[in-house]
Amino acid sequence: MLKTERTEMSEQEQFNLHNFVNDIVDEVIDNVDDDTEYPQDIITEIVDGWVPVYNKGVIDFANELHGADFTEVWLTDSDTTPMSDCDNVIRFLQIKIFEMLYNKVCDNVKIKELLNR
């Protein structure tokens, strides 16, 4: 019974990450218009603003991830910094969370359309 409850909670948590990414996408769409010269910069700034800042928030966010997202954040090296070279695990997690969110936002159909106008 406990396993079933955990599985259901995992599906709900994954759904929440989906909503979290959609909220970021909505904010990007609200802030980018036809006059925006560099929409990638806006995306970077907005995604960065959604990454947890405080230690507890970073750890809680990273621990709530499941499947490939969990593996991506906790078990793979950053594009810029390998975990073995990292003295500050919290900072490393922030970088990994940013990369994961940025990639998910840029993979969103609405954002792809926005960047291709």
- 27 close to 46: Cβ distance less than 8 angstroms: yes
For the chain, which residues make up each domain, given as ranges?
Answer: 2-115
Q: 10 in helix, strand or coil? A: helix
The pTM for the full model equals 0.80
Measured distance CA(99)–CA(48) in Å, rounded: 9
- Quote the crossing angle between the two packed helices 67-75 and 89-107, to the nearest 10°: 140
* 1-55 residue pLDDT tens: 344 444 455 555 554 888 899 999 999 999 998 888 999 999 999 999 999 999 9
- 50 close to 101: Cβ distance less than 8 angstroms: yes
* 78-95 residue pLDDT tens: 666 666 666 688 888 999
